[in-house]
Amino acid sequence: MACAVSTDTAPPGFDLDGRWGLHEQVSVRPERFGALLYHFGTRRLSFLRSPTLLRVVEHLGSAPSARAACTAAGVAPRQLRTYANALATLADSTMICPR
């Protein structure tokens, strides 16, 4: 049974072991603080407030899973839940999508 504060679980509804990628209508603009994501279809703007999160997003297209993209970007196991929450938010806003 998993603890409520477990660092190894993804938020409900987000498949950390699934294959994810940047939506084809999303443009990424790297910035000092991380990046800006702009979705041309929905006209939504998202801020990635971490260079590490930007690296995760950049790895999504080539990694076999979101978990692997986090690992490739240098996310420590104890930080995985935080990054999974951020990816869930990006998925909810269709910045990233299953591939």
pLDDT along the chain (99 residues), means of 10: 42 85 97 96 96 97 98 97 96 96
Contacts of 24 (CB under 8 A, 6+ apart): none
Q: Which of 49, 71, 47, 50 is nearest to 59 (CA)?
A: 71
The fold of 20-98 is Outer Surface Protein A; domain 3 (3.90.930)
- Check if the beta carbon of residue 79 is closer than 8 Å to that of residue 7: yes
Give the model's pLDDT for residue 11. Answer: 56
Global confidence as pTM: 0.85
